[in-house]
A and B are shown apart, each in its own frame.
Chain A
Amino acid sequence: MKLTDISNDINEWFDGSGPLSDIVISSRIRLARNLEGHKFLSQCSVDEKSQILQKLKDALLSLELGDKVFYISVDKADVIDRHFLVERHLISRHHAFGKGPRGAVIAHHEFFTAMINEEDHLRIQVLKGGMQLSACAQQINHIDDVLEQKVEYAFSPHYGYLTACPTNLGTGIRVSVMLHLPALKMTGQIEKFFNAVRTMNLAARGLFGEGSEAAGDFYQISNQTTLGVSEKAIVQQFENDIIPEIVEYENAARNRLLAKDVDVLDDKISRAMALLKNAHLISSQEALFLLSHLRLGINMHNNMGASTPAIKKLCMLTDLNRDTGKRELLSITTINRLFMLTLPAHLQINYGKELDSTHRDALRAKIIRSALKKSD
């Protein structure tokens, strides 16, 4: 398995399917675990880290996940490959650029990743498209059960699963949902969203997790409390209360744009189309923001029947269907593909060599221009 086998298409969880996928991009659950009988990584020698790596790698590679898995020695991987894994949400930035022997076990279809020797000895995650937290919870719990038969976890009846950082203590669970909230931003209400998130003791982050800025109106929200509340209760709170409420706010903002502020909406969509169709240099940040507005327009057309002047024009754009070879109306899958395949490491891996930022910006602009052709 080579990274180029997956680098020219999007992950399954990003194909635009899944419940509430017009607003909920993905659902992710990760568990933090450490091995009994070993120090946490900050106090481990290189030898001890290598032992932990080997033990967990063997256990993970013997899992039966219903999909093939591949292993990557993260500490030995090229810098571009590491960036690529971060761009695909398969490993964290911390893992990509950390220290010492460390690796990742990844399912071919990218729904499962295990990071070995990140901040904890083991972090496993399951990722699915749209609002699918219960399915993620079920799957990761099963994987955790099987792993637990192969290795011994550090656990205390008082504090639960023992983690290197006390903020992950207890269940070691981090439930994260990635949301696309362009209408809340356009209507000046995004600060309300942040306030609500803070009040509920949740964290809001950008597209690539901890330390990243919000880009293209994508926001990840996740739980901060991991102790004294069960995994099930955390997942249920997200599924029943938090996410439906945010989705409702975003939908209300979309309706408000249509009812009262069509010019605001159409201006954003039209400017995005004009720039994306004509620019010869475009940064990844700019591309994310502009594509975000096209994504909003297509979703409003598909789900709300919106047909403002700009959305009508947007619906005339086409893209080549990779399977049929015919030009088809622009879909969310195409937009998502443009989001991902124009990220810096994706561009370079698919181009086959390292590119400086100007050449990346030119290549990105070219890919987007050719994808957004007007239908005949």
Chain B
Amino acid sequence: MRCQVCNENEATIHLTEIVEGMRHEMHLCEVCASEQGVIIKSQVPINELLNNLLAAQPADEQVFGSSDKKLSCPYCGFTLEKFRKEAVLGCPYDYEVFQAALQPLIKKAHNGKTLHCGKVPSKAPEDSKKQIETLNLKKRLQAAVQNEDYELAAELRDKINQL
């Protein structure tokens, strides 16, 4: 579809306006849309993404109950209110202290995921290393089954059993 204004470029912006009950449709290219004052965001910077997520969160009261609204981290004194303003946390323990409030946000930011699977420091305790390794292997096993690579799947299953 060509742009309604310049009739040259492909229309990539499609607007529907309802004025006094009448529906108007506009099909514009990027250039004409910005000339018409339609702001186009081609990219969402990570900070903006986070701010949007924060704004979409339920109020503190709904998460904690109003008595916990002023909950602060015993290690660094950080509060959720401060997090809403600054979009960064105060210390590593905040992930535990504010877990209930952070979990939905983490889920949204990471495509529904809330559990680490990836590198583990060699100094990490043996049981957490095993836990993550098992998770990694299970993911690979799932992919191998999907790809019908049963030889690899059997190999991975044996490794999981060994752990």
Contacts and interface: CB of A to CB of B under 8 A. Distances in A.
Interface of A: 34, 36, 38-43, 119, 141, 144-145, 148-149, 152-162, 164-167, 169-171, 173, 188, 191-192, 194, 197-198, 201, 203-205, 210-211, 224-233
11 contacts: A40-B90, A42-B78, A42-B86, A154-B92, A161-B116, A164-B88, A167-B46, A191-B12, A197-B43, A211-B45, A225-B113
B92 A156 contact: yes
Contacts of B110: 169-170, 225-228
B132 A227 contact: no
B106 A194 contact: no
B123 A152 contact: yes
Contact of B90 (A42, A158, A166, A211): A42
Given A152-B123, A203-B43, A157 B132 contact: yes
B80 to A, nearest CB: 12
Contacts of A228: 110-117
A224 B110 CA distance: 7
Contact of A171 (B9, B94, B119, B128): B119
B43 A227 contact: no
Contacts, number: 156
Interface residues of B, number: 53
A169 B91 contact: no
Contacts of A34: 92
A130 to B, nearest CB: 23
Nearest to A162: B92
Given A148-B123, A152-B123, A157 B12 contact: no
A99 to B, nearest CB: 13
B76 interface: yes
A374 B75 CA distance: 68
A194 B111 contact: no
Given A162-B95, A166-B106, A224 B10 contact: no
Contacts of B46: 165, 167, 203, 210, 224
B156 interface: no
Contact of B29 (A149, A188, A197, A227): A188
Contacts of A201: 111
Interface of B: 9-10, 12, 29-30, 42-47, 49-50, 75-78, 82, 86-92, 94-95, 102, 105-106, 109-125, 127-128, 131-132, 136, 139
Given A164-B88, A165-B88, A227-B113, A157 B131 contact: yes
A190 B127 CA distance: 48
Contacts of A158: 114-116
Contacts of A148: 121-123
Contact of B111 (A42, A169, A225, A232): A225
A349 B127 CA distance: 53
**B106, B112, B131 interface centre (most CB from chain A within 10 Å):** B106
A50 to B, nearest CB: 18
B91 A40 contact: yes
A42 B42 contact: no
A197 B43 CA distance: 9
Contacts of B78: 42-43
A141 B127 CA distance: 22
Contacts of B91: 38-40, 43
B132 A42 contact: no
B49 A164 contact: no
Given A165-B89, A227-B106, A203 B44 contact: yes
A36 B124 CA distance: 12
Contacts of B128: 157
Contacts of B42: 191, 194, 204
A164 B116 contact: no
Contacts of A144: 119
A182 to B, nearest CB: 16
Q: List the 7 shortest-distance A-B pairs measured between CB atoms, nearest first.
A: A228-B113, A160-B116, A157-B128, A43-B90, A227-B110, A154-B92, A230-B118
Nearest to B8: A188
B90 A230 contact: no
A230 B77 contact: no
**B44, B75, B92, B94 interface centre (most CB from chain A within 10 Å):** B92
Contacts of B77: 43
A119 B124 CA distance: 24
Contact of A224 (B49, B123, B131): B49
B105 A39 contact: no
A230 B50 contact: no
B10 A188 contact: yes
